[in-house]
């Protein structure tokens, strides 16, 4: 089976999940940590080389404070959990804003944990405009932009899997997503099941990859 090298994960639907369980919205984030770890282990098992998690965005930080604190805390915990696996971990986001949690600053340079291996990128206080704005400092004599964006250490994404039913990118790595195939799972992220992942891989293996050609 032809596998994607790099998978992007949009773990959406935490708040809708919480509400559907009679919980308050901010209680939907912590139940997303264990699915993230499960998914990472599955990626390693099948031989995926790189995975990028959409933690939270600059847009997201405009939500009510109790939600913001809850998703920030869940991201800190998720990064901690990943750092106990064999993985090469990088946190990417706007560190110059107060919304970036200080606890994650040590992860903003790629570091290997355990035996290393799979590259894991975790987007924290990531903004598409922050990402693209860096192009202004790019070499004008070059026609390339890929190496000048703020997220340039993250490679092209082959497959994006989004949970929670919405069919949109919501600002996820606009440059790396140019040619990505996009798979949507209707279930909410906290209801993650391994079959979501395997169905997405199966679907991806049947796509004709042309990179725009």
Residue with tokens 């891989």: 201
By CB under 8 A, the residues from 153 to 192 that bind a second copy are 166-171, 174-175, 177-183
Residue with tokens 């869940």: 74
In the complex, what is the shortest distance from the CB of residue 6 to a second copy, in angstroms, rounded to a whole number? 14
19 binds a second copy (CB under 8 A): no
Which of residues 2, 59, 66, 80 is near a second copy by CB under 8 A?
Answer: 59
Q: How many other CB atoms are found less than 10 A from the CB of residue 196?
A: 20
In the complex, what is the shortest distance from the CB of residue 19 to a second copy, in angstroms, rounded to a whole number? 13
In the complex, what is the shortest distance from the CB of residue 129 to a second copy, in angstroms, rounded to a whole number? 6
Q: For residue 180, give every residue at least 6 positions away whose Cβ sits within 8 Å of its Cβ, in sequence order, or none.
A: 8, 156, 157, 158, 159, 160
207 binds a second copy (CB under 8 A): yes
Q: For residue 152, give every residue at least 6 positions away whose Cβ sits within 8 Å of its Cβ, in sequence order, or none.
A: 146
Which of residues 80, 112, 145, 205 is near a second copy by CB under 8 A?
Answer: 145
Tokens describing residue 153 = 């250490």
In the complex, what is the shortest distance from the CB of residue 164 to a second copy, in angstroms, rounded to a whole number? 11
Contact 153, 110 (CB under 8 A): yes
Q: Measure the CA–CA gap between 189 and 21, rounded to whole angstroms.
A: 14
Q: Which residues bind a second copy (CB under 8 A)?
A: 57, 59-60, 62-63, 128-130, 132-133, 135-140, 143-146, 148, 166-171, 174-175, 177-183, 207-208, 210-213
């Amino acid at each position: 089976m032809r596998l994607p090298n790099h998978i992007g994960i949009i773990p959406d639907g935490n708040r809708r999940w919480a509400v559907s369980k009679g919980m308050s919205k901010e209680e939907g984030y912590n139940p997303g940590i264990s699915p993230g770890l499960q998914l990472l282990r599955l990626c390693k098992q099948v031989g995926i080389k790189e995975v990028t998690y959409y933690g939270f965005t600059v847009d997201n930080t405009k939500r009510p404070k109790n939600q913001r604190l809850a998703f920030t805390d869940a991201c800190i915990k998720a990064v901690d959990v990943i750092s106990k696996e064999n993985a090469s971990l990088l946190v990417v986001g706007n560190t110059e804003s107060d919304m970036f949690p200080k606890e994650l600053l040590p992860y903003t340079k790629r570091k290997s944990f355990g035996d290393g291996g799979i590259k894991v990128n975790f987007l924290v206080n990531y903004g598409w405009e922050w990402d693209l704005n860096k192009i202004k400092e790019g070499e004008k004599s070059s026609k390339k932009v890929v190496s000048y964006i703020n997220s340039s250490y993250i490679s092209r994404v082959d497959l994006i899997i989004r949970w929670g039913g919405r069919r949109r990118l919501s600002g996820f790595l606009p440059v790396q997503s140019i040619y990505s195939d996009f798979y949507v799972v209707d279930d909410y992220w906290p209801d993650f099941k391994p079959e979501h992942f395997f169905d997405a891989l199966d679907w991806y293996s049947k796509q004709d990859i042309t990179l725009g050609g």
